[in-house]
Every structure is written in structure tokens, then in C-alpha cells.
């Protein structure tokens, strides 16, 4: 059975800010209704919901960088994605965190080169950084990610969207991953943000949808000002780029030896199915 994990992806554009505010209002309303309902059942008993930050004590010391250069590049307004998925099938959700990187040469050397991180859930409330061991420490300008078993081998694979070529890691089933981006034909060079796995054609193999942002590079960056101060430009001043839907070609029928050289490929069918569109700059 194909397992698809819900993931958190970076915001696609400033238009989503308004949607985010509306969404938060709905969530707040839901929480209030839930608490009022719970209080009614509890009678005179007081009930409180509290949260405690246990990241550090749990072993999660990830630090996200947005590549902040002081130039107010539009890309820096995007957040980093995260995925909760059981990559080693031990029954506990592990965490993958996406990092960014400097867009231009930093004025002073960085102590540690930023990269993505995979934290293994130890099952006791703590996590262990297994990024290097698993081979998923991509160090490009990452934005989003999504996990799904695209080759139907029972292990969740991982797709990462970037400023630059995206990355597909195939789960080897032994705690490690292999970069199969090139052979799978999913290394879009566009500025991608969100991504999701779905079997759109009901053939038993999950396909891949990739949401792209705007046509932007450091060289084509525009300077925007407010009261003579450099500010982040509205993304709408840049041309939009089309989203992409990749159809899984179901190449899992090949032998293991052949999979190494022609591993489960995808075909871009965005135009064919009618979703090859780009939001015009307004």
C-alpha cells in the first residue's frame, strides 16, 4: 500500500499571507470551540492546554538560515519546509528539516555550512541527527519537501524543492538514501516551493506535483525602496513560472540491476493535463 505523508512546505507567494491569516483565525475559532465544549463536559473543573519547547532537550539543534544578505532578495521571504515521516519503518515519526544558503558570497566565513537535516526518532522523546549517515544533507537553497513511496518498495522516499535543481532521494531501506534526481527526470531548475505526491491517474504509482514561484535570479533582482530604505519587493513584479506535474512511469518492474541505472523515471505531463500555467505579473 502506498503511504503518503503530509508535509509542511514553504509559502508560495505573498498572496498566501492573507489566506494564512484567515486559516489561523479558523484554527483559533476551532480551538476556542473545542475548549468551551471540553469545559462543558468537565463541569466546574478547570482545563488548560499548554505547550513546552523541548527541541533542545530532545536533541534537535537545527538552525535555519534564509541566506540573508542585506540585499533584500525576494527569495529570502520564503520559509523552510519540514516533513514528518517514518523513514526507517520503526513506528516512530522522524523529522526532515530544509535549510537555505547564502545567495551571494557572505562578507565573513560561516562557521558551519548550512544544510538540510534528518533527525531519527529514538522512540523515547529524543532524536539523533543522522543526516550524514543517511546521505540527505543537501546544501543548496532549499524551500520545501515531501515524502512518498514512489517506487512502491515499502520505504518512504524524499523530494526536496530548491532555488536551483530539485532533488529526489530514493530510500534504500537500510537507513540510507541515494540521489536519483537525474535518472528520475525530476530535477526542475525552476524556483520551486511546494510539492506533493498523489496518484492522479489511479495506476497504483504516486505521481509528483511541484509548485513553482517566480522567474527570479540574483542577476535579475530588482531594488525596491520605502522611504529611501531598501525593502523586499512584492513578488508580483516578477513573471510567474508554471507548475509541473510529473507522471510516474511505473518503472519498478525492472530488475534491481537495471534500477540502478534507469531508476523509476517520471514524465512531465503538466501541459497535457491542463495545469501548465503561470500566474501573470500584476
Nearest to 149 by CA among 82, 80, 85: 85
Average pLDDT over residues 196-215: 90
Check pLDDT > 70 for residue 10: no
Check pLDDT > 80 for residue 260: no
For residues 76 and 70, what is the distance between their CA atoms, to the nearest angstrom?
10
Using pLDDT thresholds of 50, 70 and 90, give the confidence band for residue 262. very low
Please report, rounded to a whole number, the percentage of residues in the chain having pLDDT higher than 90: 47
180 or 272: which carries more pLDDT confidence?
180
- Map out the domains of the chain as residue ranges: 1-29, 62-256
For residues 6 and 146, what is the distance between their CA atoms, to the nearest angstrom?
7
Identify the weakest region by mean pLDDT among 77-86, 87-96, 200-209: 200-209
Check pLDDT > 60 for residue 279: no
Identify the weakest region by mean pLDDT among 26-35, 56-65, 224-233: 26-35
For residues 13 and 9, what is the distance between their CA atoms, to the nearest angstrom?
12
| Residue 148 contacts residue 159 (beta carbons within 8 Å) | yes
Identify the weakest region by mean pLDDT among 6-15, 49-58, 220-229: 6-15
Provide the grid cell at 206.
504516486
Calculate the CA 166 to chain-centre distance. 10
Predicted local distance difference test score (pLDDT) of residue 193: 93
Which alpha helices (DSSP H) does 6-80 contain, by range? 15-42
53 or 243: which carries more pLDDT confidence?
53
Predicted local distance difference test score (pLDDT) of residue 103: 84
Tell me the pLDDT tens digit for each residue of 160-199.
999 989 999 999 999 999 999 988 888 888 899 999 998 9
Q: How far from 60 is each of 57, 124, 138, 160, 253, CA to CA, in Å?
A: 7, 14, 18, 20, 39
Using pLDDT thresholds of 50, 70 and 90, give the confidence band for residue 25. very low
Provide the grid cell at 66.
534564509
Check pLDDT > 50 for residue 16: no
Q: Which residues, listed in sequence order, are joined to residue 226 by a DSSP beta bridge?
A: 229
What is residue 119's three-state secondary structure? strand
For residues 160 and 99, what is the distance between their CA atoms, to the nearest angstrom?
10
Check pLDDT > 90 for residue 276: no
| Residue 171 contacts residue 87 (beta carbons within 8 Å) | yes
Predicted local distance difference test score (pLDDT) of residue 257: 21
pTM: 0.74
- Contacting residues for 41 by C-beta, under 8 A, at least 6 apart: none
Count of CB atoms situated within 10 Å of the CB of 158: 26
Check pLDDT > 60 for residue 219: yes
Backbone angles phi and psi of 120, in degrees to 5: -85, 130
Predicted local distance difference test score (pLDDT) of residue 255: 19
77 or 126: which carries more pLDDT confidence?
126
Q: Considering all CA atoms of the chain, what is the largest pairwise distance in Å, rounded to the nearest integer?
A: 67
Q: What angle do CA 227, 232, 236 make, to 5 degrees?
A: 110
For residues 141 and 241, what is the distance between their CA atoms, to the nearest angstrom?
18
Amino acid at each position: 500500500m502506498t503511504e503518503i505523508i503530509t508535509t509542511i512546505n514553504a509559502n508560495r507567494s505573498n498572496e498566501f499571507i492573507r489566506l494564512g491569516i484567515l486559516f489561523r483565525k479558523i484554527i483559533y475559532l476551532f480551538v476556542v470551540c473545542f475548549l468551551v465544549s471540553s469545559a462543558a463536559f468537565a463541569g466546574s473543573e478547570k482545563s488548560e492546554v499548554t505547550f513546552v519547547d523541548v527541541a533542545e532537550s530532545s536533541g534537535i539543534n537545527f538552525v535555519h538560515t534564509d541566506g540573508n544578505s542585506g540585499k533584500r532578495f525576494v527569495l529570502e521571504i520564503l520559509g523552510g519546509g519540514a516533513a514528518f515521516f517514518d523513514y526507517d519503518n520503526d513506528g516512530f515519526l522522524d523529522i526532515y528539516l530544509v535549510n537555505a544558503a547564502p545567495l551571494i558570497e557572505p562578507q565573513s566565513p560561516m562557521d558551519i555550512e548550512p544544510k538540510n537535516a534528518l533527525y531519527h526518532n529514538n522512540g523515547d522523546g529524543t532524536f539523533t541527527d543522522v543526516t550524514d549517515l543517511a546521505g540527505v544533507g543537501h546544501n543548496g537553497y532549499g524551500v520545501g519537501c515531501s515524502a512518498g513511496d514512489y517506487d512502491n518498495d515499502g520505504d518512504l522516499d524524499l523530494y526536496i524543492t530548491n532555488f536551483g535543481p530539485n532533488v529526489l532521494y530514493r530510500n534504500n531501506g537500510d537507513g540510507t538514501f541515494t540521489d536519483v534526481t537525474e535518472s528520475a527526470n525530476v530535477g526542475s531548475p525552476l524556483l520551486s516551493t511546494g510539492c506533493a505526491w498523489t496518484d492522479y491517474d489511479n495506476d497504483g504509482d504516486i505521481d509528483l506535483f511541484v509548485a513553482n514561484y517566480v522567474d527570479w535570479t540574483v542577476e535579475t533582482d530588482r531594488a525596491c525602496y520605502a522611504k529611501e530604505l531598501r525593502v523586499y519587493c512584492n513578488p508580483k513584479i516578477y513573471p510567474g513560472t508554471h507548475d509541473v506535474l510529473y507522471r510516474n512511469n511505473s518503472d519498478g518492474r525492472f530488475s534491481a540491476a537495471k534500477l540502478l541505472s534507469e531508476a523509476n523515471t517520471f514524465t512531465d505531463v503538466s501541459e497535457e493535463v491542463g495545469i501548465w500555467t503561470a500566474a501573470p505579473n500584476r
